[in-house]
């Protein structure tokens, strides 16, 4: 039996200089509770992800936004997560956070320009301002940092999540595993704090093309009431067929 309860099919068209690419995309979620919601929802867009690779990225983003727009009645916000992984990204630049931050912002802006036609009707925000400059973020981050040192279950989950991000590709770029894990933990604590910020802003569903971290689920239950909690909607997107037609 499929673990996905919902499947939607989408057909998108991408025009290049000399051809049109037609792609059939499958959109799946494990729950249906978000359908036709009148609550505000947020779509999280990672800025450094294979999701955006070439034509497939355009087709997937088109499918993601189109289907959510068609089945959500509440306001839709798209959050470009430019600095969600800033501590790890800084390792690319010998701990030069300023350069890493600038690179993240530029990458996020490039993605916005690339997808802007699909983003019509959505509120567009960026992690560095919408999350990090929120007046509640610093207080929430301090709570998460303290909780990390006092709760053994949370500490174990954070380490588990950090270890899971150290995949073979990152091993090539970051051979110092202990340093990578240290920075990944810092980023994860910030992401736990960000969930609290988003819940206080009124969001009740968060869409992302990937699974949530166990550590975030744990802190959501500990620090956010059930009424205010955000449901993480793990969206699976797959290109099932592509065809190309030459322009006359």
Please name the residues in contact with 239: beta carbons below 8 A apart, sequence gap of 6 or more: 23, 24, 25, 56, 59, 60
Alpha helix locations (H) across 116-176? 137-150, 152-165, 168-173
Confidence of residue 16 (pLDDT cuts 50, 70, 90): confident
CATH code of the domain in which 90 resides: 3.40.50.11710
pTM flag (> 0.85): yes
Q: Please say whether the beta carbons of 10 and 24 come within 8 A.
A: yes
Residue 66 lies in a domain: yes
Task: Tell me which residue range forms the domain holding 203.
Answer: 6-246
What was the pLDDT predicted at 1?
A: 53
Q: How far, in Å, CA of 206 to CA of 177, rounded?
A: 30
CA distances from 144 to 150, 153, 180 (A): 10, 13, 19
Mean pLDDT of the chain: 95
What was the pLDDT predicted at 54?
A: 86
Percent of the chain whose pLDDT exceeds 90? 88
Q: How far, in Å, CA of 52 to CA of 112, rounded?
A: 12
Residue 1 lies in a domain: no
The domain total for the chain is: 1
Q: How far, in Å, CA of 100 to CA of 94, rounded?
A: 9
Span 32-90, pLDDT tens digits = 999 999 999 999 999 999 899 989 999 999 999 999 999 999 999 999 999 999 999 99
What was the pLDDT predicted at 248?
A: 64
User: SS3 for 247?
Assistant: coil
User: SS3 for 65?
Assistant: helix
Residue 148 lies in a domain: yes
Question: Is the pLDDT at 205 greater than 90, yes or no?
Answer: yes
């Amino acid at each position: 039996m499929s673990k996905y309860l919902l499947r939607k099919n989408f057909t998108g068209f991408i025009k290049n200089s000399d051809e049109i690419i037609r792609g059939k995309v499958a959109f799946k979620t494990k729950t249906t509770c978000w359908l036709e919601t009148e609550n505000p929802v947020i779509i999280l867009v990672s800025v450094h992800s294979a999701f955006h690779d070439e034509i497939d990225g355009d087709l997937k983003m088109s499918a993601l936004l189109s289907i959510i727009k068609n089945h959500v009645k509440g306001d839709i916000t798209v959050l470009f997560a430019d600095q969600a992984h800033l501590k790890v990204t800084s390792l690319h630049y010998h701990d030069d956070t300023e350069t890493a931050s600038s690179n993240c912002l530029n990458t996020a802006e490039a993605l916005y320009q690339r997808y802007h036609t699909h983003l019509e009707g959505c509120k567009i925000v960026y992690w560095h301002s919408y999350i990090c400059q929120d007046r509640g973020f610093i207080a929430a981050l301090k709570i998460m940092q303290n909780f990390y040192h006092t709760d053994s279950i949370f500490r174990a989950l954070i380490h588990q999540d950090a270890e899971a991000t150290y995949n073979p590709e990152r091993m090539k770029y970051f051979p110092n595993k202990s340093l990578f894990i240290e920075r990944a933990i810092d980023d994860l604590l910030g992401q736990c704090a960000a969930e609290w910020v988003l819940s206080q802003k009124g969001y009740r569903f968060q869409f992302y093309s990937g699974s949530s971290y166990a550590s975030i689920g744990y802190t959501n239950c500990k620090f956010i009431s059930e009424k205010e909690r955000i449901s993480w909607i793990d969206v699976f997107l797959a290109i099932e067929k592509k065809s190309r037609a030459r322009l006359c």
